[in-house]
A and B are shown apart, each in its own frame.
Chain A
């Protein structure tokens, strides 16, 4: 999580391990958690890309609600895409943000649709606008743009005015 630590961000595992989400993840598999950040009262956990679906499955019992899946493009730096999951716990009234770094040359990420069917549309949106593909997604097609559209509009190398 070299990117964007706020001025007062805490990135130390020791200080944060009492947070319910991080505690659960560390108890499950220490290697899957690459970095952690507590900034402006929000916890961000970076997960190893190969473990994201399992990590979500581990968290699902407490953080039962998937609010949002989205992505950001950090071109030209690598890994280029950051896929971001916002989970909410109805019971604890807490949120956690999971982050997965996806390389730019072959942007593939594991889908969480098998866990939360609601992720279906969010992942399709990311595929449409960023071009990140999700493995195990039932219907990986464009959702906002026409099917024959070329390019992925929210990528940073796509001009704001579009191609004319």
Chain B
């Protein structure tokens, strides 16, 4: 972290190269990332990322909480896609418990995950374009993001730290007008993507700044553990939603956009095409949503409904026991990964048979992708560093945890 000392590399003498400090307050580092750059004129010779400014010890905190108390912490890891983090953690604990949430809960989870992906990609698109000097896109993106945040508020009561998914299902049945709101959004959104694309995709300035910039080859991307759209931008056709489906993703039809160029433009195209696929999944989820419960029938794990607590003694007892002493999870360890907007978000949870997790580890996609940033930038122009950071879509909350 902060007290990093740095000396110029041996092959370049001190009077030829210069050390340049970028961040942690630099706006285009998307959070509190500090980069130490060694530059030879305008060319980057070496790059050392300095992270840890947002380290809050979430993994340690998880070990002191009951299983259900960890859910709100997961929101705060990647604050741009809270629901997908909730989902990953819940799936991991459900796998430990051997619990399967009812189909309705799974479909609502898919629908909200895709809305989260859209909102996260909108922040990425807006800020990435802003970094490169295209300010209008930012305003357009935040207009739509606002609508998604209103949907989240409608369904969970919170705009950002939603904590809506619970172990065994959902917190509450969505309100009556929820599906209409999602439907209205799904109707307008495809035209809005056209608007963004009109501004950027064919724009000569945009092409000049993105094509052939910050290239990473397929072999390097795999070796550095790059996942998600950044990996698909380098030509690897792999998406966890399709290839290792979870939470009923196998019941949805969607394409996985892949580009082979491996530059900033390829990663941009992958994400923009993903926006269209995501809204398609939301539409499918709206059409085929099954009726039924939103929580699994597991009274020792899932909190009972308010109504039952007022009429049934057992429900009240279970509620008291879950809240005061948590629920015991059978011994074992699981690794559950989902496709987050940034790539493979994985939760490794170890249970020792008690009510608190023995260890929770988050494999965050940004952490691995950030390491590959050096590969993308070294030997290229300093101005392209900003384009490269924007194109890998990192969230520092997730890197530092």
A contact set with B: CB distance below 8 Å: 4-7, 9, 39-40, 42, 44, 64-68, 70, 72-73, 84, 86, 90, 93, 95, 97, 116-122, 125, 129, 142-148, 153-154, 158, 160
C-alpha spacing A61/B244, complex, angstroms? 20
Instruction: Give the A-binding residues of B (Cβ under 8 A).
Output: 1-4, 51-52, 55, 57, 59-61, 63-64, 95-96, 98, 222-226, 236, 238, 243-244, 330-335, 337, 344, 346, 348, 350-352, 358-359, 361, 363, 367-368, 370-372, 400-401
Complex Cα distance A72/B62, Å?
Answer: 13
Q: In the complex, how many angstroms separate the beta carbon of A101 from the nearest chain B beta carbon?
A: 14
Q: Identify the closest chain B residue to A9 (Cβ).
A: B332
Give the shortest distance, in Å, between B255 (CB) and chain A (any CB): 18
Closest CB-CB distance, A62 to chain B, in whole Å? 13
Report the nearest B residue to A129, measured CB to CB.
Answer: B59
Interface SS of B by simple majority: mixed
Which residue among B96, B335, B363 has the maximum number of chain A CB atoms within 10 Å of its CB? B335
The chain A residue with its CB closest to the CB of B370 is A121
Do A5 and B350 touch across chains, with their CB atoms under 8 A apart? no
Enumerate chain B residues within 8 angstroms of A72, measured Cβ to Cβ: 350, 358-359, 361
* Known A-B contacts A44-B333, A95-B335; A117 and B223 likewise in contact (beta carbons under 8 Å): yes
Q: Write the nearest CB–CB distance from B282 to chain A, whole angstroms.
A: 25
Residue of B nearest to A141 (CB): B4
Alpha-carbon separation in the docked complex, A4 to B334 (Å): 11
Contact between A118 and B224, CB atoms less than 8 A apart: yes
A160 near B333 (CB under 8 angstroms)?
no
12 further interface pairs, Cβ-Cβ under 8 Å (given A116-B225, A143-B52, A144-B400) = A6-B331, A70-B361, A70-B363, A86-B346, A90-B222, A121-B368, A121-B371, A129-B59, A143-B1, A144-B52, A146-B1, A160-B63
Contacts of B334 in A (CB 8 A): 40, 42
Residues on the A chain within 8 Å of B330, using CB:
6-7
Q: In the complex, A67 Cα to B55 Cα: how many Å?
A: 21
Out of A44, A142, A158, A160, name the residue touching B61 (CB < 8 Å).
Answer: A160
Chain B residue, CB-CB nearest to A116: B223
Q: Is the CB of B51 within 8 A of A144?
A: yes
Given the complex, which residues of B lie within 8 Å of A129, measured CB to CB? Answer: 59
A-B contact pairs, 22 of them (CB 8 A): A4-B331, A5-B332, A6-B330, A7-B330, A42-B335, A65-B225, A67-B344, A70-B363, A72-B358, A73-B359, A86-B346, A93-B243, A116-B225, A117-B223, A119-B225, A121-B368, A129-B59, A142-B52, A143-B1, A144-B1, A146-B3, A147-B1
Q: How many A-B residue pairs have CB under 8 A?
A: 116
Beyond A72-B358, A116-B225, is A4–B348 a contact (Cβ under 8 Å)? no
Contacts of B243 in A (CB 8 A): 93
Which of B59, B61, B63, B335 sits near A68, CB closer than 8 Å? B335
Partner of B348, one of A5, A65, A66, A84: A84
List, in ascending order, chain B residues with CB within 8 A of A146's CB: 1-3, 52
Q: Which residues of B contact A73 (CB under 8 A)?
A: 359
Are A93's CB and B332's CB within 8 A?
A: no
User: Which of B59, B60, B61, B371 has the most C-beta atoms of chain A within 10 angstroms of its own C-beta?
Assistant: B60
Residues of B within 8 A of A67 (CB): 225, 335, 337, 344, 346, 363
Q: Determine whether the beta carbon of A65 is less than 8 Å from that of B331.
A: no
On whether A4 and B335 interact (CB within 8 A), knowing A117-B224, A147-B4, the answer reads: no
**Which residues does chain B contribute within 8 Å of A158, judged by CB atoms?**
60
Residues on A with beta carbons closer than 8 Å to the beta carbon of B358:
72
Given contacts A67-B225, A160-B63, contact A40 B344 (CB under 8 A): no
How far is the CB of A76 from the nearest CB of chain B, in Å? 14
